[in-house]
Structure 1
Amino acid sequence: RTGYVQERVNIGSGPPGSKVRWFRSSSDEPRFLNTVTFDSKPDAPTLVMVHGYAASQGFFFRNFDALASRFRIIAVDQLGWGGSSRPDFTCRSTEETEAWFIDSFEEWRKAKNLSNFILLGHSFGGYVASKYALKHPEHVQHLILVGPAGFTEETDPKTEFVTKFRATWKGAVLNHLWESNFTPQKIVRGFGPWGPNMVRKYTSARFGTRSTGQKLTDEESSLLTDYVYHTLAAKASGELCLKYIFAFGAFARMPLLRSAPEWKVPTTFIYGTEDWMNYEGAQEARKQMKVPCEIIRVPQAGHFVFIDNPSGFHSAVLYACRRFLTPNPDNESLPEGLSSA
């Protein structure tokens, strides 16, 4: 096992004069982001890993040791998630909600004294990583987006089925719940003592019987279930971002596709071949980008590609970062088993 240091990084109570609601605090108490930094070789490139919605850094448990052999790995829980501070969520717009995550991450970067790094984000974390790189491109050497949210528009013809479903009474009910900010975590909390069993059924199915790749061992399943339950059952905070960032159907209210021409950071998209996130949105974005961009698909993997097929995921990350790891990156070919899109 690779050695590591866990810390709660103080990001303060916000820059002077900030109008972002997460900074507002009657007592000016500081916020903290839970951070784990793994031991690494001297001069290893820094790779910062950002989790997705309803998740936290521990979801990368199958990846830390392998990636730490080549990178200085720093995994962080976003504000309002995992082991980080969970302030009251008082944002009332998409702009404020994006600032909650982007600006808290920037304060974290300053506190960690990081000048530049490779930034990896999964799903909703990919959305946040993209928005951060658009605002602070000078700090991001390379962007790795793993099954990122936000690249599909509601006007996409392929998503017509969602519009049709929303027109049914069931769809109308679910859409109302979405707009009232009813989150999956509320269900877990509402089940009280039955909550852990509910989470256990999900993890054992998603990463066990219905896994598209490498199933969890009994020990992994038990540990992940316990971890997921406690992160979901804790105080509601960051989870309440949902309705401000996405419309029902996981369509971004401010789609990243529209920002593609403004991209300033070389980018690699990584998708599992069974991922429900549509990689065609990334293909559309690539057409509009003025920076290097590649799309890699990993076999026998779904949305949680790094759990389903860790070795394939590691190969994809190493290939994406070849210019930081090898003296002759142009001579590197796509690892066997992976495919380009």
Structure 2
Amino acid sequence: MAEEINTTKASTSSRWTWPSLLRWIPTSTDHIIDAEKRLLSLVKTPYVQEKVNIGSGPSGSKVGWFRSTSDEPRFLNTVTFDSKEGSPTLVMVHGYAASQGFFFRNFDALASCFKVIAIDQLGWGGSSRPDFTCKSTEETDAWFIDSFEEWRKAKHLSNFILLGHSFGGYVAAKYALKHPEHVQHLILVGPAGFSSDSDVSKPEWLTRIRGTWKGAIANHIWASNFTPEKIVRGLGPWGPNLVRRYTSNRFSTGELLTKDESRLLTDYVYHTLAAKASAELCLKYIFIFGGFTQKPLLPSALNWKVPTTFIYGVQDWMSCEGAQEARKDMKVPCEIIRVPQADHFVFVDNPNGFHSAVFHACRRFLSLSPGSGYESLPEGLMSA
């Protein structure tokens, strides 16, 4: 069941009133949705925003993502863009501490060839933010994988292309391992979980850092599940300025953001980070100090059942070496594409290069005209 809001013409109203400004953390769920609409006003393709009901369960349910003190229904915030009839479906999943609006530079180009659906994962963005009570990596994996599966059922989807970025790539890959029958093709953009270290729990450089007093303090902070979002909330009315500095510095690679893009993205990011803590608390169960995953995907390569394309920015801090190792063991088609002038957020840094990589990855699903250039790797992109 979905509650739809037609946002062909996005609202530009603001919720910044004196009562909200006087609160220590000037945000709310309404602020998130309004900020999303303002950011997506930059997108020309009409879209529908909906809250997709993924169900509810009693307190103490054994289903990981139901674990909460509340049994109210959960919703995943979803945007679906207009497309040509018969277009293949592309589902886009964001990374850690992000949300679907981060793809704002990509929706128009991708919607020209796909039925694009982007979601906020459970506990992030404009989706429900239930109490996060998972106590292990297995429970945490279930939180994201099972909630996504319930969303798929509610949307009556099958045979779709699944794209995930960073931590969203980790979730997408885990989902495709568990439910390969629904995924036609997997696109992993700078995914977490593919380390090339033989022992990802104790890489040499990380062991050295942990041996110092600074490393011990950092590791303690990590183990206590101190998230970046807690800093934003702790600063209260000074939080937006911190986020503004972050977005200005973080997105300074490749094609720079315009003044309007920077302003609207900053506003959107602030509200998604400052809202109630929920899925962000997965941090210590998914990652170890240093950014490596607790349950890496590399050993699962032999069990891969879905054709896969890896996409990395040339300056991405996520190395493509792990993907190269995984490809050796995969029994399905696998290719690795590197996009120049791009960092970890390749789809923001070099949107045109990113679109070319996606079109090339999905060429067998698209009715591209002869000579379009996507039969072989488009100029500028690099195979790894």
Q: Give the structure-1-normalised TM-score.
A: 0.95
Alpha-carbon separation, structure 2, partners of 1:331 and 1:222: 34
What letter is aligned with 2:347? F
Question: 1:194: which partner in 2?
Answer: 238
2:239–2:270 CA contact under 8 A, matched in 1: yes
Question: 1:278: which partner in 2?
Answer: 319
What letter is aligned with 2:113? R
CA distance 1:284–1:106, shift in 2 (3 Å) = same
Pairing 1:297-316 to 2, within 5 Å after superposition: 297-316=338-357
Cα distance, 1:31 vs. partner?
A: 0.1
Cα distance, 1:212 vs. partner?
A: 2.2
Alpha-carbon separation, structure 1, partners of 2:307 and 2:184: 7
Pairing 1:22-33 to 2, within 5 Å after superposition: 22-25=65-68, 27-33=70-76
Alpha-carbon separation, structure 1, partners of 2:232 and 2:356: 35
1:154–1:251 CA contact under 8 A, matched in 2: no
Alpha-carbon separation, structure 1, partners of 2:135 and 2:68: 16
Deviations 1:176-222 (A, max 9, x none): 11111000000111111110000000101111xxx220000111000
State whether structure 2 residue 220 is matched by structure 1 residue 176.
yes
Pairing 1:244-259 to 2, within 5 Å after superposition: 244-259=285-300
Alpha-carbon separation, structure 2, partners of 1:14 and 1:106: 15
Alignment match of 1:143 (pick from 186, 189, 213): 186
Range 22-31 or range 107-116, more displaced: 22-31
2:190–2:312 CA contact under 8 A, matched in 1: yes
Alignment match of 2:170 (pick from 119, 127, 132): 127
What letter is aligned with 2:97? A
2:65–2:146 CA contact under 8 A, matched in 1: no
Range 320-329 or range 211-220, more displaced: 320-329
Deviations 1:139-193 (A, max 9, x none): 0000000000011147269942222112111111111111110000001111111
Pairing 1:1-341 to 2, within 5 Å after superposition: 1-14=44-57, 19-25=62-68, 27-152=70-195, 153=197, 155=199, 159-207=203-251, 211-326=252-367, 332-341=375-384
Cα distance, 1:250 vs. partner?
A: 1.1
Q: Give the structure-2-normalised TM-score.
A: 0.85
CA distance 1:158–1:8, shift in 2 (3 Å) = same
Alpha-carbon separation, structure 2, partners of 1:21 and 1:272: 34
CA distance 1:260–1:222, shift in 2 (3 Å) = same
Identical amino acids, percent of aligned pairs: 80
What letter is aligned with 1:319? H
Deviations 1:18-38 (A, max 9, x none): 512321455531100000000
What letter is aligned with 1:264? K
Extract structure 1 runs of 4+ deviating beyond 6 A.
327-331
Alpha-carbon separation, structure 2, partners of 1:80 and 1:316: 30
Cα RMSD for the two superposed structures: 2.0
Alpha-carbon separation, structure 1, partners of 2:57 and 2:153: 12
Alpha-carbon separation, structure 2, partners of 1:10 and 1:165: 45
Deviations 1:257-303 (A, max 9, x none): 01110000000000000000010000011011111000000000000
SS of residue in 1 equivalent to 2:77: strand
2:200–2:292 CA contact under 8 A, matched in 1: no
1:13–1:24 CA contact under 8 A, matched in 2: no
Alpha-carbon separation, structure 2, partners of 1:9 and 1:127: 22
Structure having the larger proportion of residues in helix: 1
2:232–2:242 CA contact under 8 A, matched in 1: yes
